[in-house]
Structure 1
């Protein structure tokens, strides 16, 4: 599982360039000063984002990675005069590495003198390797080219052209009553209750993992070991409870790397739900997991890992030995728990809120479910006799999970299709594929089709038939939704939105409402018809946006207010469609960092951050055509709260 998390984490780094928040922690510039006909001074400078720091070339060994300046063709065309000099640094003791570390804060300067050996030399290449840190450290590299000639290059801070200045200024609104955005902010769906839901999801995943052939047979063996080898009953119970605690701890620790990435940029993990190619990667990974559950191959970590952990537990003994036994369980059960944890990762990535916190909560729930039977059976060993025997039913559990993995995989492919505007996986096709998957699951549960690991002439149990019946009912529910007889509200957020349909060509607005996808066009129309505006910051891959539209906006009273009283402006933050060339521009932040705006999503994401200091979706603002804020902003909430919020804004507008 560690390997899986590292792979996913690496993917997040690779694709983090697509994040909606593009703040870079280090902004580099360069200068070249001519000292004489053969000597030059190369200067590299950087502005470092607040609370971040970059390590010196001379930080102590055994700590974080030092900066390194690598010059190309030294000795052939030029030589270095002494070592590179640095600006002022700070030295502090690191509790992590237990060494003194030297680093820069806010600003840094590297200065290197050189002597020209080849009169024909016209440029010098420099590559700077560095590490920038804030709770977590990110390796980076920056290339510089210094032009040598009669007129030394002096690159000052990058500027933007006049057109970019005009387009940048147009992004910033002169809002009235801006403080009202956060005053008396309406309560959204309680984040704590959402975390409890995620904990329950993780706990359910852990309970399912207990029923797999990788975990279930280990319960009586492990409990018997503790009760028999511990000398006394109380000692056996203590050891079993400690073993359970370490299981929970291990799965919690697996989520910590995601907190570190999240501390780099709060939006990095959210790119899982909006980045096209990362969603495609997850689709492929989940399909791969599914077929492992079907029995076509088995996912295993290297057996040497389990052997080493087992040997360590035998040698260490005591508390340390029990810890290594828990690690051994996590490794040997990976072929069954890995795909389930992958599904948990996907589900928390699609959930609202902080992804890292969601994942930790889910992991704790998963570990708690795995640990619970070891503690309970240690307390009540007689219960072991009531456990069912291992058998073919555990293979059935794995196959059912395989079908669920395929269903979840399709959601990631749908995200990629929506954000990329491919127009391939429309709502009807998505639902049709789900119908096929659950028809196959139903046929499997009733024994009509089999997979490689299924025993021949297997008797179909009553429980299996019951689950098969539930699957058949779900197929009927999906079929009614496909036929437009029901609205599939129970699945809100998973299938593509209603307007992303094979049969709806003209209006791609939610629920058939009239909407604008450009702020200025919408505001001009609102002024013309003298109506207030509902500003809807949304996303193609935003699950809670779909839930709001399909469960809250669809309420007859809310729908009537939206249709008759407000002008709807929907701005899609994850829209990867390129802006026309004349509308692309560079936006320069106060820090000097320049962000190139080339897609629709980048434009509206920057617009939302600059004017409303928010980066989440859904995010709703009521505003007049004169840029007066009419009520506090709201996000994901219930129907009654949302309706009251709309009416309050309308009342203020009319008054």
Structure 2
């Protein structure tokens, strides 16, 4: 079967593509056999292969959910009143106006995504500092308190008034979308912080554009649809108290994001998981059983309880699955004496360059390096060395980065029994256990 070789999830790290030839990868089309990866299960394989697609779907659904927040809902009458005056236009022209409106809304946020990615190296370096992580978490919690109704985040009145003015032509529809993108900031701003941080850590402007454009589509498609049918709308659904409940739910999401950002500060991975699980469980208890918000339909109470129970079960499962994991690979700090000893006894060496703020590094640690077969091989047949790049400025680390030509994290280097690197085996992204075992087998 003829295939074209490429990279999946290349957006996961910031340094770009590795060198094809140095890694021993073919550079031309050929006939190969594709086999389902073993050891990770069908669901795990699907998630690994479709990482970007699932991420985009999640961001799109998040954009749709933002339409249910109280400060987005008032934008609907503004949109309808603006496009209602064009109800006499032909459907085709009105559709084009709606698309220009959607484009304007998307441009505002997509620009932020690209800028964040292009400055990712700087922001990623800043995010290594614990004080910055704590400050970021505090900002997210403060914004969450505004979603809980403890304080109100408002935009200056002149910007809101600008959104309600009428401008002619397709340029007017584009400007309308651009303006509403700014007016929507009090609602989507808290989520932009988390998304901007993630995009900056990848350093990939294409990913930044895709994520923020997708978020804008989720936020803007309902508004653009209303714009298209504005002449046929007699009334809008009542907002009601149920929107306050949705807003509180989004507030809990911000608290969970804050917990996620400070997870690297815990020396124990289990402690970070427990913190995040406690937040999810507290959200379930509050949203499902403590909150007294009522809805305009009878089944709203059952819906609240169902979501609350689901969150509680999710938190319980997350803690249980983490606790039930066996011990992971035992690592040693880098030293020349350790390398010389490994060479003298004829053992291969694996050197893992990682950082606490690196998401693929955590995936490797939590999944691949906790696989029972890998733990057994590492204990009996390998010398396992870990180089912590979380803090910059260590002279030894800087020397190792130059010596092994490490351009980003994660980077896993395989040295044979003679201490020579097998460059074609180098790992620069998350690798499932079954694939990692094959790399280990080559140098055993």
Structure 2: distance between partners of 1:645 and 1:220: 59
The answer on 1:531 being equivalent to 2:324 is no
The answer on 1:472 being equivalent to 2:312 is yes
> Which residue number corresponds to residue 358 of structure 1?
207
* Cα gap change, 1:245 to 1:366, in 2 (>3 Å): same
The answer on 1:283 being equivalent to 2:137 is yes
Residue pair 1:252, 1:360 contacting (<8 A) in 2 also: yes
1:438 pairs with 275, 280, 283, which one? 280
* Cα gap change, 1:323 to 1:538, in 2 (>3 Å): same
Structure 2: distance between partners of 1:474 and 1:191: 21
> Which residue number corresponds to residue 321 of structure 1?
172
Taking the TM superposition and a 5 Å limit, the aligned residue runs for 1:257-406 are 257-262=115-120, 267-311=121-165, 314=166, 316-349=167-200, 353-378=202-227, 388-406=237-255
The answer on 1:226 being equivalent to 2:83 is yes
1:378 Cα deviation from its structure 2 partner? 4.9
Structure 2: distance between partners of 1:541 and 1:615: 16
* Cα gap change, 1:614 to 1:431, in 2 (>3 Å): closer
How many residues were matched structurally? 408
Residue pair 1:526, 1:532 contacting (<8 A) in 2 also: yes
Residue pair 2:353, 2:411 contacting (<8 A) in 1 also: yes
* Cα gap change, 1:517 to 1:285, in 2 (>3 Å): same
Structure 1: distance between partners of 2:123 and 2:190: 20
* Cα gap change, 1:275 to 1:356, in 2 (>3 Å): farther
Q: What's the secondary structure of 1:446's corresponding residue?
A: helix
1:615 pairs with 407, 416, 422, which one? 407
The answer on 1:202 being equivalent to 2:59 is yes
Residue pair 2:119, 2:203 contacting (<8 A) in 1 also: no
CA deviation string 1:441-477 (max 9, x = no partner): 2232234246xxx579997533222211111212322
Q: What's the secondary structure of 2:370's corresponding residue?
A: coil
Structure 2: distance between partners of 1:621 and 1:401: 41
Which runs of no fewer than 5 residues in structure 1 stay unpaired?
1-19, 22-177, 488-497, 499-510, 577-597, 651-655
> Which residue number corresponds to residue 10 of structure 2?
none
Structure 2: distance between partners of 1:192 and 1:606: 35
TM-score, structure 2 length as denominator? 0.80
CA deviation string 1:253-276 (max 9, x = no partner): 2234324535xxxx3232254222
1:367 Cα deviation from its structure 2 partner? 0.7
1:634 pairs with 423, 427, 432, which one? 427
Structure 1: distance between partners of 2:125 and 2:330: 29
Higher percent of residues as strand: 1
Higher alpha-carbon deviation: 228-237 or 615-624: 228-237
Residue pair 2:354, 2:410 contacting (<8 A) in 1 also: yes
The answer on 1:574 being equivalent to 2:416 is no
Q: What's the secondary structure of 1:274's corresponding residue?
A: coil
Which runs of no fewer than 5 residues in structure 2 stay unpaired?
1-13, 28-33, 38-44
The answer on 1:182 being equivalent to 2:182 is no
Structure 2: distance between partners of 1:457 and 1:298: 25
Structure 1: distance between partners of 2:101 and 2:136: 33
> Which residue number corresponds to residue 120 of structure 1?
none
Structure 1: distance between partners of 2:140 and 2:21: 44
The answer on 1:216 being equivalent to 2:9 is no
* Cα gap change, 1:403 to 1:254, in 2 (>3 Å): same
* Cα gap change, 1:228 to 1:304, in 2 (>3 Å): closer
Structure 1: distance between partners of 2:399 and 2:53: 32
Residue pair 1:293, 1:398 contacting (<8 A) in 2 also: yes
> Which residue number corresponds to residue 6 of structure 1?
none
1:563 Cα deviation from its structure 2 partner? 2.0
Residue pair 1:605, 1:615 contacting (<8 A) in 2 also: no
> Which residue number corresponds to residue 30 of structure 2?
none
Structure 2: distance between partners of 1:381 and 1:209: 21
The answer on 1:516 being equivalent to 2:370 is no
CA RMSD of superposed structures (Å): 3.6
* Cα gap change, 1:363 to 1:280, in 2 (>3 Å): same
Residue pair 2:84, 2:231 contacting (<8 A) in 1 also: no
Taking the TM superposition and a 5 Å limit, the aligned residue runs for 1:544-623 are 544-575=360-391, 598-599=393-394, 603-608=396-401, 610-623=402-415
1:540 Cα deviation from its structure 2 partner? 2.5
1:570 Cα deviation from its structure 2 partner? 0.6
1:409 Cα deviation from its structure 2 partner? 0.8
1:532 Cα deviation from its structure 2 partner? 0.6
1:428 Cα deviation from its structure 2 partner? 4.8
* Cα gap change, 1:215 to 1:549, in 2 (>3 Å): same
Residue pair 1:541, 1:574 contacting (<8 A) in 2 also: yes
Structure 2: distance between partners of 1:219 and 1:528: 73
Tell me: higher relative CO, structure 1 or 2? Use CA pairs within 8 A at least 6 residues apart. Answer: 2
Taking the TM superposition and a 5 Å limit, the aligned residue runs for 1:100-139 are none
1:571 Cα deviation from its structure 2 partner? 0.6
Higher percent of residues as helix: 2
Structure 1: distance between partners of 2:370 and 2:319: 21
CA deviation string 1:203-231 (max 9, x = no partner): 12211111112223534652464254253
1:622 Cα deviation from its structure 2 partner? 0.9
TM-score, structure 1 length as denominator? 0.56
Structure 1: distance between partners of 2:204 and 2:244: 32
